[in-house]
Amino acid sequence: MTEPIQKIWPELVRLILGRYDEKLLREVVQRFLRPRNQWPVEELIDRCVEAFDNTVLLNRRLKELDESRKTLLAALAQSGQCKWKLGQLIEISMCLGQDDGLSAVFDLLNQGFLLPDVVNLEQKDRLPKPCKSPYIKSFEQWIGFPGPEGLAIFLPPPISQRSIAFPLSLPQKYEPPEGAEILEPDPIAPVLQADGMEFPLRMSVLLQMVHKDPLRKNQQGGFFKRDLENLRANSMLSADPSDRLIEVPDLGILLTEIGLKLGVLVPKESELHPGTFPASWDEGLLAVLTEIWAALPAIDSWNPSTGLNDNPEDRSNPYNSACLVAVLALGNLPSNQWVDPELLESWVIDHHPYWKDRESIRPSRLKGWLVKFLLGIAFQIRMIQATKLLGGKYLVRLSPVGRSILGIQKENDLQDVIAKTLLVQPNLEILAFRQGLNPALARDLTNLATLKSIGPACQLLLEPESVYFALETGLRYEDICGLLERHGTRPTPQAVLDAIKTWSNKHERITIYASATLLEFPTAQDLENALSRGLPALKISDRFAVATSEEGIDFSQYRLTATRDYGLMPEKCVQVESDGVTLVVDISRSDLLLETELPRFADFVEDASSQQRRVYKLSPETLKKADQVGYTPTALDDWFQQRLGHSLTPAIQLILGAKSDAVPPSFETMLVVHLENELITDGIMQWPETAQWIHSRLGPCALTVNSESLEKLRKALLQAGHKLVESSPVQEA
Amino acid sequence: MLIVSNKTSIARIPVKLHRRVCLVLTEDALLAEEILARKKLASDISGRLTNEVLLVRTGRLESVVAELQRMGHTPQVLQR
């Protein structure tokens, strides 16, 4: 999991400032830090990073800022988002009353409160190296040539924290325009507020869905058609919530984008794979909702007006800044002030630069988007309270939770939930009553059981696969039972406990150590001694113990006789004798793989072995056995290449080549003609008169002839002046 | 009083270290036999360290896990 930005911001600031040209850096630092001495660049950057943590200095500098700059910083701080596109900042700045949004951003960049994101914050787990040749000479130059990271701005968290309470230059009083109908809520109408668990629960659905089938993306960055259809058709992901106030287009797509921002989904090449729930899931509902709120402005491919924006030629998304300004405007009003969302939408449209030229904007982009955002998204993350008028229209106001999320109020109405909220049934179904759910419990249940429906009571099903998944995440049988007992309204049925026990036991039958450290002791007594000294390893035989990692092994107690790393290429430590079938292993260089591999295709020859060398012999029987356990001739040849540095010996190839359909060896009677030297032999083979009677050449000075051709060869040789005589027959033994 | 020091207990213990080993630990020898008898797995398994412990060839972990799951097992994979 990647580190949150709150932890790694000093490193980010250092990396970004390291890309400033010295002149620009000194100018910025002069305004921000006002150093009295001429410090070297590295020290200047260090002091600057330290200054971000200096509350007194930071407050002093922020106090000196112009009100229009303060209000922009406050708006960004309340959004919770620390990375912004330059265009969005200009839009927000203009909505906040600035005629020229760019000058405010420039001013904040020049004073060091904002930084250009030249390190790509979204890939914070793969940060670039410090820059050796700073290239940002001025911010005007950076805007002209922003590089592959694009025009993005970074707001360091300390600045965000200190400026969150600055007043916003937004209306503090709700004043409907002249002629507009003044809507007052019915005093007896209920105040509607979501429980805030809808999105966290749908994140669980998304995670389980992606765990089964990763989502695929095409080259344009959009989803594959089938995946898109699945996202839209999934009854739990995209269906309307039970307490919905308005229909939201492509809710499943929005949740996928939020999941990506939170790390619940992880992009791998062109697919989205399951990730992990962020740490905020352990910190309570408010932390989770704050994180979801902070993720919203960074989503480009979805908007509340049309849903998914898959048009690569039109990536403009003014709704992020517009929706933020609308929520900020609600936060600026008194907490009990109800607002007509349509009037609020008109106000935002009047102030947002995107809608300045209304004639050129499609009608669908003009109306209805803010109502969908407020009643569909902000309502579900508990930021908005709503009340219904007689005509079916809704009025909205920012909820206490919404004010807490924006950081403008500490108190909220989130209460500790009831711990006992599960009903585990003997048919392995779990009913989780919504009022008792919190993000941590929802996450644990997601890891343990398959979600079947979400509603006032969520239905889950315990299945072998889901329990195995829970065990994979590190839970044990006792943990699972403890979870069900702790949150169950009734004792867990015995049948359920038995099923979980069975699945757990089955799971424990095979354990795979992916990359273990194996300790091999010379004697069993040595291993016992090591264990008695606290060796953190599992004994797997008389002389072997296995540890998942070397952490915790006190190496001062051991003398390493040898070390083998199985991540490296196997060592060549075997030699073959002249017979081609006897293999001699050099014990000092051998490893476990070798010692376990060899007995599978060769017999150990104890008599010929010693402490330094082990001798194995291959035979037709051992090679047949090897073939039965999967050692094909190709696999064997690979092994020889790795361990001996050459291919199979001819003797082994001879044995391996003996197949039933192969041409059988044959024999026949031939006469051998021995010649005096190679030259004569070559001559006989070349001259047609003699060559026609030769059957084959055996060697440099030997030829074979059929008995029928012998006389003809003799005559031909006589013509050339050579007399063929019969040598004395070999006496049989 | 005569104090006899036990030298062997405080001496450093000789050990050969095998790093980054991939191995399968089975509940019993029969299960190891069952795995070895599977032809697809046999080529991924380098050999048998003990009755219950099998060594997996470098880089074959994923195919071993997939094949074990195909056999109906639910191996517990311990990462570093």
| Joined tokens for residue A256 | 């996928």
Q: Are A89 and A182 in contact (CB under 8 A)?
A: no
Q: Within 10 Å of residue A3's Cβ, how many Cβ atoms?
A: 11
Q: Are A124 and A3 in contact (CB under 8 A)?
A: yes
- Smallest CA–CA separation between A608 and chain B, in Å? 23
Q: Which of A34, A113, A32, A17 is nearest to A68 (CA)?
A: A113
Query: Residue A468: closest CA among chain B residues belongs to which residue?
Result: B74
User: If you compute the radius of gyration of chain B from its CA atoms, what whole number of angstroms results?
Assistant: 19
B47 to A595: CB separation less than 8 angstroms, yes or no: yes
Cβ-Cβ contacts under 8 Å, B20 against chain A: 515-517, 565-567
Query: Residue A81 corresponds to which amino acid?
Result: Q
B43–chain A Cβ distance below 8 A for any pair? yes
Query: Looking at the DSSP assignment, which residues form a beta bridge with residue A398?
Result: A384
A524–chain B Cβ distance below 8 A for any pair? no
pLDDT (tens digit per residue) in A404-419: 999 888 877 777 666 7
User: With bands split at pLDDT 50, 70 and 90, how would you rate the model's confidence at B5?
Assistant: very low
A561 to B36: CB separation less than 8 angstroms, yes or no: no
- What does the DSSP 8-state code read for residue A192? B
Torsion of CA A398, A403, A406, A407, to 10 degrees: 170
Determine the Cα–Cα distance for residues A449 and A338; give it in Å rounded to an integer: 41
pLDDT (tens digit per residue) in A223-277: 888 988 988 888 888 888 888 888 888 999 999 999 999 989 998 888 899 988 9
Cβ-Cβ contacts under 8 Å, A517 against chain B: 17-21
Determine the Cα–Cα distance for residues A260 and A446; give it in Å rounded to an integer: 18
- Specify the length of chain B in residues: 80
Query: Looking at the DSSP assignment, which residues form a beta bridge with residue B15?
Result: A560
B36–chain A Cβ distance below 8 A for any pair? yes
The beta-carbon neighbor of B80 closest among A518, A521, A549 is: A549
Cβ-Cβ contacts under 8 Å, B48 against chain A: 596
Query: B29-42 in b/e burial notation, b at 16+ Cβ within 10 A?
Result: eebbeebbebeebb
Query: Residue holding tokens 């989502």?
Result: A215
Cβ-Cβ contacts under 8 Å, B80 against chain A: 514-516, 548-549
Q: Are A566 and A593 in contact (CB under 8 A)?
A: yes
Q: Are A575 and A614 in contact (CB under 8 A)?
A: no
Query: Residue B51: closest CA among chain A residues belongs to which residue?
Result: A541
Query: Residue A182 corresponds to which amino acid?
Result: I
B57–chain A Cβ distance below 8 A for any pair? yes
| Joined tokens for residue A171 | 């209306």
pLDDT (tens digit per residue) in B36-80: 888 888 878 888 888 999 999 888 898 999 899 888 888 888 875
A602–chain B Cβ distance below 8 A for any pair? no
Determine the Cα–Cα distance for residues B79 and A516; give it in Å rounded to an integer: 8
The beta-carbon neighbor of B20 closest among A522, A526, A565 is: A565
Q: Report the half-sphere exposure of A442 (CA within 13 A, side-chain side).
A: 34
| Joined tokens for residue A728 | 């004395």
Query: Residue A111 corresponds to which amino acid?
Result: Q
B58–chain A Cβ distance below 8 A for any pair? yes
A510–chain B Cβ distance below 8 A for any pair? yes
Q: Determine the pLDDT at residue B4.
A: 46
CATH of domain B19-70: 3.30.70
The beta-carbon neighbor of A635 closest among B13, B27, B43 is: B43
Determine the Cα–Cα distance for residues A643 and A647; give it in Å rounded to an integer: 10
The beta-carbon neighbor of A566 closest among B21, B43, B68 is: B21
A509 to B65: CB separation less than 8 angstroms, yes or no: no
Determine the Cα–Cα distance for residues A544 and A537; give it in Å rounded to an integer: 10
Q: In chain A, which stretches have pLDDT less than 70?
A: 1-3, 122-127, 180, 312-315, 416-418, 658-662, 728-733
Determine the Cα–Cα distance for residues A132 and A357; give it in Å rounded to an integer: 45
- Smallest CA–CA separation between B53 and chain A, in Å? 7
Q: Determine the pLDDT at residue A73.
A: 92
The beta-carbon neighbor of B49 closest among A526, A544, A560 is: A544
Cβ-Cβ contacts under 8 Å, B39 against chain A: 629-630
Q: Determine the pLDDT at residue B7.
A: 46
Q: Determine the pLDDT at residue A400.
A: 93
DSSP letters, A233-298, are H-TTTTSPPTT-SS--TTHHHHHHHHHHHHTSEEEETTEEEE----GGGGS-HHHHHHHHHHHGGG
CA distances in angstroms from A556 to A533, A559, B3, listed in the order given: 12, 8, 25
The beta-carbon neighbor of A516 closest among B9, B23, B76 is: B23
Cβ-Cβ contacts under 8 Å, B22 against chain A: 512-516, 566
B50–chain A Cβ distance below 8 A for any pair? yes
B79 to A592: CB separation less than 8 angstroms, yes or no: no
Query: Residue holding tokens 């993720």?
Result: A295
DSSP letters, A586-597, are EGGG--HHHHHH
Query: Looking at the DSSP assignment, which residues form a beta bridge with residue A432?
Result: A422, A458
Q: Are A267 and A281 in contact (CB under 8 A)?
A: no
User: With bands split at pLDDT 50, 70 and 90, how would you rate the model's confidence at B2?
Assistant: very low
Q: Which of A628, A505, A629, A540 is nearest to B24 (CA)?
A: A540
A37–chain B Cβ distance below 8 A for any pair? no
Query: Residue A244 corresponds to which amino acid?
Result: R
User: If you compute the radius of gyration of chain A from its CA atoms, what whole number of angstroms results?
Assistant: 40
Strands A558-565 and B13-26: parallel
A517 to B31: CB separation less than 8 angstroms, yes or no: no
Q: Determine the pLDDT at residue A680.
A: 92
Determine the Cα–Cα distance for residues B74 and B70; give it in Å rounded to an integer: 9
- Smallest CA–CA separation between A632 and chain B, in Å? 9
